Amino acid sequence: MPPPSHPGRGRRRPDLRALRAALPEPVRAVVTGYERHLGLERGLSVHTVRAYVGDAVSLLGFVVDGGDALAELDLARLRAWLAAQQTGGASRTTLARRAASARTFTAWAHRTGVLATDPGGRLAAPRAHRTLPGVLRAGQAGEVMQASAAGAAERDPVALRDRAIVELLYATGIRVSELCGLDVGGADFSRRVVTVLGKGGKERVVPFGVPAAEALDDWITEGRPKIVAETAGDGVEPALFLGVRGKRVDPRAVRRVVHDAVSAVPGALDMGPHGLRHSAATHLLEGGADLRSVQELLGHATLATTQLYTHVTVDRLKAIHDRAHPRA
């Protein structure tokens, strides 16, 4: 049976909340079960669950709106859904992610008896473009830290917080979600390490250096108490980093902090927390760290991901070859 025709479908991503609410009740129940599986059984982050469920809702809305029952979801309909995304302007990277998301859903639906077969197992998608992100040069990173320290010279509590955020992000290479999730007890100053909760609920310990320790100490002893004193009407938040209203700092605020700090350095690429993460990994490798150690620090499940995140210069590779290869 050929896939249903959906003229005009995919011009823009629909309101997924409205689309979910419009699904037939049995299909909504399937979505709810899938959401519970992702969050409770697999332990995925809130953002990852939202993305996976959003893709499932988009797929199911496409199928059901075409007059087909969920049980009739097959490879042809999966391909038609992806084609609609491509018509709507989705990039190769987005198509690859949505195809992977669809495969995750159909595999779960087959295991739980929702689908008689797993059509996603045969679904192919364009390979995502593996573009290397821009990074700061080591000298530029130092200038960013200096600019952040200069802003904190007046001992304003928010400026002290911002300096500690920038220093810690660059010192550790942790994700913005991991930084925002840190509690006060997560920083061990005696060993100079932070304990973060990464993707999939995996905990890891990441070290930081003296400059980050000094910035954190200034924030915890001077800046944070002032914000707590001004805002703690409903109790003290355990978060390490607080917003101006005394609640756990928001990732958007952290992105703004990093953008402002980087923009103070002439010629530096505009970037957010992820750019500092890339920069930290690159500078570790260029300084002689091995790839496996950087993988552990960044919390990557596979070495291939670490290789994508890092920029190993040709000169460094040549130097390693000259030192290590007997025929160099």
Residue 248, strand partner residues:
242
What is the Cα–Cα distance from 301 to 284, expressed in whole angstroms? 18
Q: What is the CB neighbour count within 10 angstroms for residue 264?
A: 15
274 included as an active-site residue:
yes
Q: Exactly one of 28, 199, 248, 259 is catalytic; which is it?
A: 199
Whose CA is closest to 187, among 200, 261, 289, 171? Answer: 171
Q: Exactly one of 77, 278, 283, 300 is catalytic; which is it?
A: 300
Q: Exactly one of 274, 283, 311, 316 is catalytic; which is it?
A: 274
DSSP state string for 171-193: HH---HHHHHT-BGGGEETTTTE
Q: Exactly one of 175, 224, 278, 283 is catalytic; which is it?
A: 175
277 included as an active-site residue:
yes
Global confidence as pTM: 0.67
DSSP-assigned letter for residue 260: H
170 included as an active-site residue:
no
Q: How far does Cα 314 stand from its chain's mean position?
A: 28
**Do 78 and 66 touch, CB atoms closer than 8 A?**
no
What is the Cα–Cα distance from 143 to 149, expressed in whole angstroms? 10
**pLDDT digits (tens), the chain, 328 positions:** 444 444 333 345 567 888 888 899 999 999 999 999 999 888 888 888 999 999 999 999 998 876 667 888 999 999 999 999 888 888 888 888 899 999 999 999 999 999 999 999 888 876 666 665 678 999 999 999 999 999 999 999 999 999 999 999 999 999 999 999 999 999 999 999 999 998 878 899 999 999 999 999 999 999 999 999 988 666 678 999 999 999 999 999 999 999 999 999 999 989 999 999 999 998 998 888 888 898 999 988 888 778 776 655 555 567 777 888 787 6
Three-state SS sequence of 56-87: HHHHHHHHHHCCCCHHHCCHHHHHHHHHHHHH
Q: What is the CB neighbour count within 10 angstroms for residue 190?
A: 5
What is the Cα–Cα distance from 252 to 99, expressed in whole angstroms? 28
Q: What is the pLDDT of residue 2?
A: 44
